Structure 1
């Protein structure tokens, strides 16, 4: 289903199949593809990176590919563009900063009803480092 090699553009059928995966399968996809591509994708709006507010919690959504950012209903309905962050920068700068600010991570959300897996920045860092071994 998902390409074995790094691809700038995903086929429509691959995007459709990716959005039909469970939250756990989307997490596995993110871990596998991000370590291969050496990059994660975030949603960027006019005022910076898009965060989700859930009560008192602030959460950063992340995706394995630019084409999948736009599958999120929030991104599709607003002026958002996918923004690539190198995996090394994400691991060494973003995740420690998010952890220090107690900002959570939401992996590959699709909608409010299917928001993906929520993790701490430390949990995602450990999972990515384990996947890279």
Structure 2
């Protein structure tokens, strides 16, 4: 299911603090089953946050696209299906010693977590959702 945010919704979720954005991200991803990243000609985009190399991730294309400017003007938002993320990305990111920056916004990196922790949290929430 394709889900599009309205301008009001974008404004609302981008005004949340890092903790609230993390929670929003987990629930949105568990619900919509997609994680959005930015890619360019060389692959996915990385940022440095809390002295760690991170892949920034967002819950919606519209929010990821807010980052496509300046140095990142040649990027595009790309969806990673949740099952692909859980099957391949978690172990790949861990192998590369990368962390995940959850829903960064403005100058703030968002919550930075190890890939395994993100996977665990997503699986928990997805199980809760399916048991209701």
Please give the TM-score of this superposition, normalised by the length of structure 1.
0.86
Looking at structure 2, the residues matched to 116 and 95 of structure 1 have their Cα atoms a distance apart, in angstroms, of: 19
> Structure 1 residue 76 and structure 2 residue 90: aligned?
no
Q: Map residues 1-133 of structure 1 onto 2, 5 A cutoff.
A: 7-54=2-49, 57-72=52-67, 75-77=68-70, 78-111=73-106, 113-133=107-127
Task: State how many pairs are aligned.
Answer: 125
Could you list the runs of 5+ residues in structure 1 that have no partner in the other structure?
A: 1-5
CA RMSD of aligned residues (A): 1.7
Looking at structure 2, the residues matched to 33 and 108 of structure 1 have their Cα atoms a distance apart, in angstroms, of: 11
**After TM superposition, what 4+ stretches of structure 1 lie above 6 angstroms from structure 2?**
none
Please give the TM-score of this superposition, normalised by the length of structure 2.
0.87
Could you list the runs of 5+ residues in structure 2 that have no partner in the other structure?
A: 128-132
Looking at structure 2, the residues matched to 28 and 120 of structure 1 have their Cα atoms a distance apart, in angstroms, of: 16
